Structure 1
Amino acid sequence: MTNAALTRLTRLARSRARSLAVRFGGLPHSVGTVDSPPAPVAADVTSLWRRNLTSKKPVVDAAHPEVVTMTTHGDRLRDVWLAIESIGRGAYLPGRIILWLDHEAGLPWRLRRLRKRGLEVKYVEAGWGVHTKYWPYVSTQAITGPLITADDDIIYPPNWLGDLSHAHRAHPDDVIAFRAHTVGMSTPSVFAPYTTWLPCLTTEPRYSNFATSVSGQLIPPALQRHILGEGTAFTSAAPTADDVWLHRCAVTFGFATRQVEETPLHWWFIPGSQVSGLNAQNVIGGANDRQMQASHTSQTRARLWNELRAGSQTNSMSA
């Protein structure tokens, strides 16, 4: 057999093995969509799939103070294990990982395996929506360390939590995020459309840095307590935008947001996860704009406007 023939045979065998893994083994897979991974990410997905199948290593380290929290719903319950497994393979593990669910459906066997390795699955009353990722925690758990919100449709890299934690230790009073936008304002009281906001391009802490939980954001303990004190007004002000409410609370109580690197980072989606989601509703449909206007107060608007104006004047003087 020639080398070329052997290569073709090997590729065919791998293709058939992958098809069987997708069809019968729960390997997430998509082709020709926004969440279709390039080859290196597909290889990472397969590695995590094997790890979840065989590993007995814990996904948490009780010696660490960080708590990672997320929620999921509907069909995403099937593949949320991949987001959790990606965090659990990290070089630095959280003290706890909590998955909040609003109904006691049967857990997929991959989540049951993760629960044996340290994942906590907790059930809460329905109605909190996207705020389920943090509100049940701050309202029912002892607040003792940093809280990191994560999304259920992202494959997080091994350095993810370690980098967030390192930045927190250096700057314990800041919200820390891998991905942020710069809030835009057209007047002292009116926010510019969310779709016109520019990406954050600095590691300096600013109130006008708007963190997005998709790549993870760390909330310091003091801010968690303020969020608890603000209660559940988010259900009317920002029902589908947890990032909006968390930003409003941070600005209200004087917590600036710091981006880990000078450019925002967005990790790869779990294959097949983007069939449903709030991104189109919040961004394209203008829901973020409406919820920013409803959530922010005259105090927070003034704080943001003054910071943005001061930054603009500084840039003009240095030009």
Structure 2
Amino acid sequence: MWLDYAARQALISVGAFARAPRLKFAAHASPLSFPQEGDVVVSLTTHGERISSAVAAISSLLLGTQLLPVHLWLDRGDFESEWPRALKGLVDRGLQVRCSDGAFGPHTKYFGTFAECAGTDTRVITIDDDMMYPRWFVEKLLNAAQADPGSVVAYRAHRIVTTGGEIERYRRWRQVRTTAPSHLHFSTGVSGVAYPPAMVDYVASLGTEFLHHAPRADDVWLNACALRSGHRVRQVFPHPREFSIVPGSQRRALVRENLRGGGNDLQIAATYGPADVAKLLAEPEPGSAG
């Protein structure tokens, strides 16, 4: 699975080098701006040198066919330091930069926004800080979410594999090839995920419990929460979609680390208990693409 992902990204990256400079220019020159309020919000985090990657990711949303409020969460050190000029340009265009009230690692991507939006009937879309999203990213994601309003909707998901009543190693899971929602589907945040309001409320109610189970794996925690709160996961398309990596980011190094070191397996084992596994085993096989 990981080798396939790395090979596909090598092909996708060909056009990324041409697109990245245009996106950073948009941060300075675009006449467009993000709205400040809405019933759907985009949330992400970044840190240190990755702020330059985040500029490209956020700028790709600024050039999208549908604009939403965007919250960028920074740890206090980055929030109080001097921001790059391109990031300031995005703030001038409506980007809302927030200071995280804790060192939550990858969970910073959603934690503050979920807490703010809990109880307000707001859907939250999470994105990664080192990807360049297509113009139709928000539009098609929300179309799928409206078709399945109670589901977690993602452009990319894996099929959880079980053997002998236990969850198989993450690298042995399969790609999802259907738009049918299922508890057996595991959304991956890299390509973007939309969470329904009830899911936002549930995760927010658990506070920082993730620190005791999956402190370095937000995908693991959020998918376990989806399972426990009754929210199935569906893909936007029958096949997973992968978008361009911002050139110079560390995404490929992360892929190699996950392949070599077992990836999320330890945190999956620490998060999914017997009741979770039983629920997965009882789930019928997902249907064919709709």
TM over 0.5: yes
CA distance in structure 2 between the partners assigned to 1:106 and 1:276 by the alignment: 28
1:182 corresponding residue in structure 2: 159
Which runs of structure 2 are paired with 1:34-183 in the superposition (5 Å)? 37-38=13-14, 40-58=15-33, 60-62=34-36, 64-94=38-68, 96-103=69-76, 104-142=80-118, 143-183=120-160
1:30 corresponding residue in structure 2: none
Matched, 1:258 2:234: yes
Preserved contact between residue 45 and residue 106 of structure 2 (Cα < 8 Å): yes
Preserved contact between residue 191 and residue 289 of structure 1 (Cα < 8 Å): no
1:247 corresponding residue in structure 2: 223
1:139–1:278 Cα change, 3 Å: farther
Cα deviation for residue 79 of structure 1 reads 2.6
CA distance in structure 2 between the partners assigned to 1:275 and 1:221 by the alignment: 30
Preserved contact between residue 240 and residue 282 of structure 1 (Cα < 8 Å): no
The range that moved more, 295-304 or 43-52, is 43-52
Cα deviation for residue 275 of structure 1 reads 6.8
Which runs of structure 2 are paired with 1:212-251 in the superposition (5 Å)? 212-251=188-227
What letter corresponds to residue 52 of structure 2 in structure 1?
R
The range that moved more, 133-142 or 250-259, is 133-142
Which runs of structure 2 are paired with 1:19-38 in the superposition (5 Å)? 37-38=13-14
The structure whose RCO (Cα within 8 Å, separation 6+) is larger is: 2
What TM-score, normalized to structure 2?
0.88
SS in 2 for 1:311: coil
What letter corresponds to residue 272 of structure 2 in structure 1?
H
1:275–1:228 Cα change, 3 Å: closer
CA distance in structure 2 between the partners assigned to 1:186 and 1:36 by the alignment: 34
Q: 2:187 aligns with which of 189, 211, 225?
A: 211
Preserved contact between residue 227 and residue 276 of structure 2 (Cα < 8 Å): yes
Cα deviation for residue 284 of structure 1 reads 3.3
CA distance in structure 2 between the partners assigned to 1:112 and 1:179 by the alignment: 31
Preserved contact between residue 159 and residue 185 of structure 2 (Cα < 8 Å): yes
Preserved contact between residue 44 and residue 126 of structure 2 (Cα < 8 Å): yes
CA distance in structure 2 between the partners assigned to 1:288 and 1:237 by the alignment: 11
Cα deviation for residue 47 of structure 1 reads 2.4
Deviations 1:1-58 (A, max 9, x none): xxxxxxxxxxxxxxxxxxxxxxxxxxxxxxxx959931x3333223223322312310
The range that moved more, 44-53 or 205-214, is 44-53
CA distance in structure 2 between the partners assigned to 1:192 and 1:62 by the alignment: 43
CA distance in structure 2 between the partners assigned to 1:284 and 1:260 by the alignment: 30
Task: Provide structure 2 residue ranges, at least 5 long, that are not aligned to the other structure.
Answer: 1-8
1:8 corresponding residue in structure 2: none
What TM-score, normalized to structure 1?
0.81
Deviations 1:90-120 (A, max 9, x none): 00111x1010000222111101010011100
CA distance in structure 1 between the partners assigned to 2:209 and 2:253 by the alignment: 23
SS in 1 for 2:238: coil
Preserved contact between residue 73 and residue 109 of structure 2 (Cα < 8 Å): yes
Which contiguous aligned blocks of 4+ residues in structure 1 show a shift greater than 6 angstroms? none
SS in 1 for 2:71: strand
Cα deviation for residue 229 of structure 1 reads 1.7
SS in 1 for 2:149: coil
1:275–1:68 Cα change, 3 Å: closer
1:9 corresponding residue in structure 2: none
CA RMSD of aligned residues (A): 2.2
Q: 1:196 aligns with which of 172, 176, 195?
A: 172
State the number of aligned residues.
276
